[in-house]
C-alpha cells in the first residue's frame, strides 16, 4: 500500500506532462489562491505564508543570495495573510484579520492597500484604500483608466472593467490594451454602492447617506430603513483635491478642489507654496494686494490716456478708403463697415458662448429620465432621445455611451465641441447646446419632426414622391459639401446613410450624426472618397426603394445588384415601381448616372461632393413632368 501511494504521484504527473506535450491546446493562466505565490515578469519574486502561527509573509527574489523576511523593515508593514496570488511583478493576498484584498510589490515597501479587487482574463484592477482611485495591472490600456474619480465597487469581464463612481453612483467602464471595449451603455439611474446590512458600521467605515445625491425622493438605498450600506472610509484625496472634512459615522471624507483652497489648512496638500512649512503671512498678502492694485491702476491710466487721444483709423470698401477720427469717451465712434465674409469663430470660449449650457437635471426631466419611450434611435455617439424643454422647445438629446466617454477626456471633448458648435448650415442638424456634468456627455440638437430618410424609404412613414426625392438628394449633397469644404478643419462624416439623413418640419434634408470629431478624423486624406461612395449608396436607395443590404434579395447588396444593370444601359430596370413613374424619366436616369460615378472602384475617378451637388442641382432644375 505504501509503495503504491509513493508511485501514484509520479506516474500521474508524468502522464499529465505527456498529454500536455502531445495535445495542441491554448491555455490562459490565472493565479490561484494558495499559501505560496509567484510574481512573474522581469522583477518577479516569490512569497509564502510562514507556518509559525502568525501567518506572516516571507519573500525572496530570483537571485541566489537575496532573501528577506517579515522581520525586516521592508515587509514589517505587511499584514498577516490567509492566501496569496501572483500577477505581473506584484502579489495580492487576502488578509487573515478582515478578509480584505491587499497588494504589494518589491518597489513599494509599504504596499498599497485595496478595499476592492477584480480580475479579468489578463488583468487585475483594485480600488485603493486611501483615495478610492483605481489601479490596474497586466495587459491593460492605461490611458483608458479613469483618473481623479473614486469608486465604490468594481467588476471585470475578460476585456473590460466597470465600476460605480462614488461621486454620483453612475457606472464607468474601461478596457484592456489592444481590445475594443464592447458597446456598453450603462443606464443613468443610480447603482447601489454596496450590500445592505442590518448591523451598524464598524471602525473605518461609514453608512452611505443617500441625501448626498440631491435626489429629493430618495431617502435610503435599501428597501428597509433599518438597513444600511457600510463603505470603507477614504484616507486621502486625489491629486488636485484636499480633504475638507473627515470621515464620520454617516459620511465619507469630503474632497474639495484645490482651486477653492482659502486657508493654510490646505496649502500643504495643494502645494500652494514653494517649500513645506512655509505659510503665507498676512503681511505678505497685504504687499501682494498693493502690488496688484498698483498694476491695475497703472493699466487703467494708460487705457484712459490712449482712449482720449484722437485716433485716426481707416476702413476700406469696394469703392474707396474711408478715414475716421474718434474719441472713445463722450462721443460715438464711427464703426467700420462690416466684413461681408466674416471668419467663423475659432475660440472655444466664443464658440461655447453661442450655445446653451444645460443642467443634467434639466435634460433628465425633459427626457423623462432617459426612459426607453423617449428614445429616438442610436448612433455612433450613443443614445438619442426626444426632449421637451421647460420653454416648450422640442429638441433631440444625444447621450454618450460609456465607450465614448472613457475614450475622450475633457480636453478632447472641448476641442470637439468647438468644432461642432461652429457648424451652422441649413442642411445640417445644428448643435443647440451641451451638458458636461457628473461625468456625462450630452449634446442637444435641433429636433427633426419628420424622422429619417430611411424610415420613409423602407419603414412605415409616408413614401416620398420623385420630386421630393430629387430635392432631398441635392440638399443632403450640399450638407456633405459644407462639411468637406467649408468647415475648418474639414469633417469627414464616415457614416453616410439614409438613417443619418433627417427631415425637418419643412421637409428639408439635414445631415446628422457626424458626431464627435477626434484628432484622427481631421486627417481627411483618402477619407472624403468614402463619404462620396456611401452617398452613392444613398442615391441608389432613393432610386430603387431597396435597402443597402437586404437578405431577401439576391444578391443582397444593392451595389452588386444595381451597378451591373446601370453599366449595361438598363438603369430604368432599377427604378422603384412602388412610386408612380413620371412621364419624363430623364431626371431619374441622370440621377442613376451620378450614382454610378460616385460608386467607381477607382477613388480618383469619383467626383467630389461639390461636383455631385452641381450635377444634382442641374437635374433638379430639369424638373419632373407628371
What does the pLDDT look like over 571-590, one tens digit per residue? 988 999 888 888 888 999 99
* 235-239, 546-550, 557-561: least confident range: 235-239
For the chain, the C-alpha Rg in angstroms (whole number) is 33
Residue 620: closest CA among 464, 466, 483? 466
* pLDDT score at 417: 80
Residue 295 CA to its chain's centroid (Å): 43
Confidence bin at 80 (pLDDT 50/70/90): confident
* pLDDT score at 214: 56
Q: Are 46 and 60 in contact (CB under 8 A)?
A: yes
* pLDDT score at 409: 65
Architecture of the 451-626 domain: Orthogonal Bundle (1.10)
Pick the more confident residue, 432 or 237: 432
Could you read off the pLDDT of 613-624 as tens digits, one per residue? 999 999 998 876
Residue 588: closest CA among 524, 522, 540, 537? 540
Could you read off the pLDDT of 217-250 as tens digits, one per residue? 667 788 888 888 888 888 778 777 788 788 888 7
Confidence bin at 309 (pLDDT 50/70/90): very low
Q: Looking at the predicted structure, is the pLDDT value of residue 439 above 90?
A: no
* 60-69, 437-446, 484-493: least confident range: 60-69
Residue 74: closest CA among 84, 88, 59? 59
Q: Where are the domains of the chain?
A: 36-175, 196-270, 348-447, 451-626
* 253-257, 276-280, 287-291: least confident range: 276-280
Mean pLDDT of 424-437: 91
* 8-22, 403-417, 524-538: least confident range: 8-22
Pick the more confident residue, 135 or 590: 590
Confidence bin at 541 (pLDDT 50/70/90): very high
Q: Looking at the predicted structure, is the pLDDT value of residue 155 above 50?
A: yes
For the chain, the maximum distance between any two Cα atoms, rounded to a whole number of angstroms, is: 117
Residue 201: closest CA among 160, 251, 152, 157? 251
Pick the more confident residue, 306 or 258: 258
Side-chain-facing half-sphere of 481: CA atoms under 13 Å: 19
Determine what percent of the chain is predicted with pLDDT higher than 90.
25
Mean pLDDT of 246-258: 79
Residue 191 CB contacts under 8 Å (≥ 6 apart), including other chains:
164, 169, 170, 171
Q: Which of 9-13, 244-248, 338-342 has the highest mean pLDDT?
A: 244-248
Residue 5 CB contacts under 8 Å (≥ 6 apart), including other chains:
none
Confidence bin at 65 (pLDDT 50/70/90): very low
Mean pLDDT of the chain, nearest integer: 74
Using DSSP's 3-state secondary structure scheme, residue 229 falls into strand
Residue 612 CB contacts under 8 Å (≥ 6 apart), including other chains:
477, 481, 532, 535, 594, 597, 598
Mean pLDDT of 203-226: 76
Domain pair 348-447 / 451-626, same fold: no
Q: Which are the catalytic amino acids?
A: 495
* pLDDT score at 338: 41
DSSP 402-449: HHHHHT--HHHHHHHHHHHTT---TTB--EEEEE--TT--EEEEE--T
Q: Looking at the predicted structure, is the pLDDT value of residue 408 above 70?
A: no
* 235-244, 252-261, 325-334, 510-519: least confident range: 325-334
Q: What is the distance between the alpha carbons of residues 171 and 261, in angstroms, rounded to a whole number?
A: 29
Whether omega for the bond prior to residue 555 falls within 30 degrees of 0, making it cis, is: yes
Q: What is the distance between the alpha carbons of residues 94 and 102, in angstroms, rounded to a whole number?
A: 6
Confidence bin at 555 (pLDDT 50/70/90): very high
* pLDDT score at 542: 96
* pLDDT score at 613: 97
Pick the more confident residue, 385 or 91: 385
Q: Looking at the predicted structure, is the pLDDT value of residue 101 above 90?
A: no
User: 172 - beta bridge partners?
Assistant: 163
* pLDDT score at 184: 54
Q: Looking at the predicted structure, is the pLDDT value of residue 447 above 90?
A: yes
Q: Looking at the predicted structure, is the pLDDT value of residue 212 above 80?
A: no
Q: What is the distance between the alpha carbons of residues 150 and 232, in angstroms, rounded to a whole number?
A: 12
Confidence bin at 484 (pLDDT 50/70/90): very high
- All three cell numbers of 193: 454602492
Residue 170: closest CA among 516, 437, 375, 377? 437
- Select the CATH number that applies to the domain covering 348-447 from these four: 3.40.50.11720, 3.40.50.10320, 3.30.200.20, 3.30.2310.20: 3.30.200.20
Q: What is the distance between the alpha carbons of residues 404 and 380, in angstroms, rounded to a whole number?
A: 9
* 326-335, 343-352, 398-407: least confident range: 326-335
* pLDDT score at 44: 78
Pick the more confident residue, 344 or 462: 462
DSSP 13-61: HHHHHHHHHHS-------PPPBSEEEEBSTT-EEEEE-TTTT--EEEEE
For 93, 251, 399, 454, the CA distances from 104, given in Å and listed in that order, are 9, 29, 39, 56
Pick the more confident residue, 162 or 40: 162
Confidence bin at 600 (pLDDT 50/70/90): very high
Amino acid at each position: 500500500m505504501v509503495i503504491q501511494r509513493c508511485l501514484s504521484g509520479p506516474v500521474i504527473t508524468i502522464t499529465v506532462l505527456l498529454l500536455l506535450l502531445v495535445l495542441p491546446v491554448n491555455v490562459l493562466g490565472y493565479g490561484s489562491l494558495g499559501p505560496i505565490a509567484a510574481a512573474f515578469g522581469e522583477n518577479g519574486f516569490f512569497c509564502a505564508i510562514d507556518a509559525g502561527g502568525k501567518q506572516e509573509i516571507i519573500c525572496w527574489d530570483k537571485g541566489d543570495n537575496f532573501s528577506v523576511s517579515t522581520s525586516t523593515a521592508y515587509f514589517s508593514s505587511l499584514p498577516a495573510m490567509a492566501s496569496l496570488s501572483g500577477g505581473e511583478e506584484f502579489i495580492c493576498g487576502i488578509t487573515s484579520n478582515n478578509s480584505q484584498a491587499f497588494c504589494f510589490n518589491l518597489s513599494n515597501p509599504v504596499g498599497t492597500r485595496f478595499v476592492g479587487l477584480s480580475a479579468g482574463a489578463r488583468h487585475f484592477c483594485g480600488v485603493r484604500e486611501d483615495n478610492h482611485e483605481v489601479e490596474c495591472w497586466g495587459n491593460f490600456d492605461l490611458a483608458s483608466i479613469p483618473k481623479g474619480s473614486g469608486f465604490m465597487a468594481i467588476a471585470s469581464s475578460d476585456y473590460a472593467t466597470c465600476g460605480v463612481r462614488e461621486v454620483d453612483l453612475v457606472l464607468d467602464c474601461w478596457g484592456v490594451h489592444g481590445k475594443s471595449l464592447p458597446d456598453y451603455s450603462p443606464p443613468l439611474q443610480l447603482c447601489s454602492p454596496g450590500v445592505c446590512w442590518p448591523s451598524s458600521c464598524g471602525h473605518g467605515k461609514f453608512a452611505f447617506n443617500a441625501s448626498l445625491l440631491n435626489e429629493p425622493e430618495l431617502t435610503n438605498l435599501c428597501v428597509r430603513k433599518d438597513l444600511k450600506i457600510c463603505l470603507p472610509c477614504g484616507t486621502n484625496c486625489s491629486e488636485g483635491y484636499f480633504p475638507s472634512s473627515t470621515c464620520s459615522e454617516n459620511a465619507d471624507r469630503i474632497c474639495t478642489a484645490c482651486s477653492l483652497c482659502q486657508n493654510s489648512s490646505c496649502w500643504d496638500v495643494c502645494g500652494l507654496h514653494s517649500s513645506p512649512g512655509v505659510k503665507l503671512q498676512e503681511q505678505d498678502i497685504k504687499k501682494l494686494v498693493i502690488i496688484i492694485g498698483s498694476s491695475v491702476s497703472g493699466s487703467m491710466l494708460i487705457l484712459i490716456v490712449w482712449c482720449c487721444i484722437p485716433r485716426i483709423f481707416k476702413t476700406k470698401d469696394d469703392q474707396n478708403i474711408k478715414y475716421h477720427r474718434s474719441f472713445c469717451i463722450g462721443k460715438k465712434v464711427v464703426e467700420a463697415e462690416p466684413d461681408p465674409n466674416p471668419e467663423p469663430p475659432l475660440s472655444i470660449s466664443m464658440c461655447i458662448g453661442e450655445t446653451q449650457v444645460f443642467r443634467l437635471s434639466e435634460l433628465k426631466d425633459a427626457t423623462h429620465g432617459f426612459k426607453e419611450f423617449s428614445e429616438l434611435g442610436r448612433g455612433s455617439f450613443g443614445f438619442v432621445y426626444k426632449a421637451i424643454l421647460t420653454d416648450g422647445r422640442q429638441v433631440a438629446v444625444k447621450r454618450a455611451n460609456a465607450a465614448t466617454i472613457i475614450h475622450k477626456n475633457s480636453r478632447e471633448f472641448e476641442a470637439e465641441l468647438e468644432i461642432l458648435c461652429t457648424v451652422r448650415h441649413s442642411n445640417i442638424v445644428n448643435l443647440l447646446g451641451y451638458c458636461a456634468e457628473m461625468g456625462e456627455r450630452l449634446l442637444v440638437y435641433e429636433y427633426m419632426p419628420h424622422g429619417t430618410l430611411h424610415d420613409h424609404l423602407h419603414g412605415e412613414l409616408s413614401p416620398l414622391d420623385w420630386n421630393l426625392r430629387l430635392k432631398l438628394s441635392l440638399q443632403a449633397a450640399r450638407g456633405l459639401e459644407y462639411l468637406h469644404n467649408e468647415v475648418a478643419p474639414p469633417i469627414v462624416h464616415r457614416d453616410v446613410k439614409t438613417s443619418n439623413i433627417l427631415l425637418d418640419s419643412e421637409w428639408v434634408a439635414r445631415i446628422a450624426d457626424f458626431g464627435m470629431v477626434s484628432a484622427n478624423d481631421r486627417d481627411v486624406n483618402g477619407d472624403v472618397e468614402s463619404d462620396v461612395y456611401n452617398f452613392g449608396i444613398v442615391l441608389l436607395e432613393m432610386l430603387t426603394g431597396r435597402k443597402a443590404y437586404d437578405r431577401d434579395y439576391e444578391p443582397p447588396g444593392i451595389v452588386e445588384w444595381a451597378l451591373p444593370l446601370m453599366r449595361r444601359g438598363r438603369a430604368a430596370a432599377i427604378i422603384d415601381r412602388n412610386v408612380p413613374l413620371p412621364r419624363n424619366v430623364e431626371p431619374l436616369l441622370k440621377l442613376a448616372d451620378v450614382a454610378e460615378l460616385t460608386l467607381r472602384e477607382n477613388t480618383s475617378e469619383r467626383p467630389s461632393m461639390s461636383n455631385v451637388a452641381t450635377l444634382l442641382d442641374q437635374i433638379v432644375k430639369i424638373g419632373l413632368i407628371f
